[in-house]
Structure 1
Amino acid sequence: MGGSTVVPTVRIQQEDFDLAEEVARLSAAGSNIGAVVTFSGLCRDEDGRLSALELEHYPGMAEAEIGRIAEEAIRRWPLTGLTAIHRHGLIVPGENIVVVIAASSHRQAAFEAASFMMDFLKTRAPFWKREHLIDGTPGPWVDATEADETSTRRW
């Protein structure tokens, strides 16, 4: 089972983050780190259709839910560190939306924890996405897909 002394870093922020800085920060926190797995999600342009993606969240609730998901990951895998950062606001194609960084003594735990975190972030964290189209019109609010829901069932 996982390491109960690990305290996850969870941030919801409008400003961008630096992936290399975040990895360095997590890696510096422990000497028994043998693997660091990162997942970073970027805003797509949907084949030239999108000018931006708008992300809204419930302040406080979003952090709490991501914190619960992170604590579950820490209980399930022997992690030495865990970071989850999710942006909100207007994000243009090519910019960062989310990063999950999982550190462990061994690669398998880090891979599985990062994948678990993303599957549940996509389906359980209270965020809403709205597409802004290249022609200047706002698009629809976007829901999690059935494929996202299916991914969570494997855990």
Structure 2
Amino acid sequence: MAEEEEKKTLIEILEENNPIDIVRYINFVRAPECGAIATFSGTTRDTFDGKAVVELRYEAYVPMAIRCIKSICTSARKMWNLNLIAVAHCLGPVSVGETSIFIATSSVHRDDALDACKYLIDELKASVPIWKKEVYANGEVWKENLEFIERRSELWKEGRVMGCCQRKVKEEADDHKKKACCGTKVRVDDERENKTNSDITEIEKQ
């Protein structure tokens, strides 16, 4: 990322118990020459597939996550006329109703800001090494984002090389995941949903 781009881009991976200050990121992208600010706020919802969600928990390989987000921001600037970009993502537990990710973009005209904002969240979900665990009232499970699954399938079908840091993500994050708790996945056994947590979850090695 060029030095000028660096000054106009704010990327933060926030450690546990550091909530996202939405106003701070909106103020960062605000500029007198810009007539548009677009934002996306990803919040924890209270249900998934009929299960009551207690919270989400996020882990990340932070150095690679930041590099990947920088690369995505650079790509966005090549496609749209953007002024300032802010991206923030929480780690640790995120309760229902709280924000886990916030993106803000500013531009002279609204189309650039809106289109770039959507691109940023879609690409982040598809390729950045941030892992999510859904914690239910009756169990928990590590989840892959739908965008990541779709991107992986597309690349496999087309025989294409992984893009946007994905090859390095795989090489570097695989080693990280072997050492972290996200190296295993916990699956809810639907057939025994009425039993206690210890009875209904099983560990699956990736």
For residues 34-113 of structure 1, what are the structure 2 equivalents within 5 Å?
34-46=35-47, 49-113=52-116
Q: Deviation above 6 Å: which 4+ runs of structure 1?
A: none
Q: What is the identity percentage for the equivalent residue pairs of Structure 1 and Structure 2?
A: 27
* Residues 63 and 119 (structure 1), Cα distance of their counterparts in 2 relative to 1, 3 Å cut: same
TM-score, with length taken from structure 2:
0.65
Whether 1:142 aligns to 2:143 is: yes
Between the aligned partners of 2:33 and 2:99, the Cα distance in structure 1 is 29
> Residues 59 and 43 (structure 1 numbering): CA distance in 2 closer, same or farther, change over 3 Å?
same
5+ long unaligned stretches in structure 1: none
Gaps of 5+ in 2: 155-206
Instruction: Tell me, in whole angstroms, the C-alpha distance in 2 between the residues paired with 1:123 and 1:51.
Output: 24
Distance change >3 Å, CA 31–CA 146, structure 1 → 2: closer
**Distance of aligned partners of 1:146 and 1:123 in 2 relative to their CA distance in 1, 3 Å threshold:** closer
Structure showing greater Rg: 2
8 Å Cα contact 1:10-1:85 kept in structure 2 = yes
For residue 75 of structure 1, give the secondary structure of its aligned residue in structure 2: helix
Alignment RMSD: 2.0
Distance in structure 1 (CA, Å) of the matches to 2:113 and 2:149: 20
Work out whether residues 35 and 107 of structure 1, in 8 Å CA contact, stay in contact via their aligned partners in 2. Answer: yes
Number of aligned residue pairs:
144
Distance 1:129 1:147, change over 3 A: closer
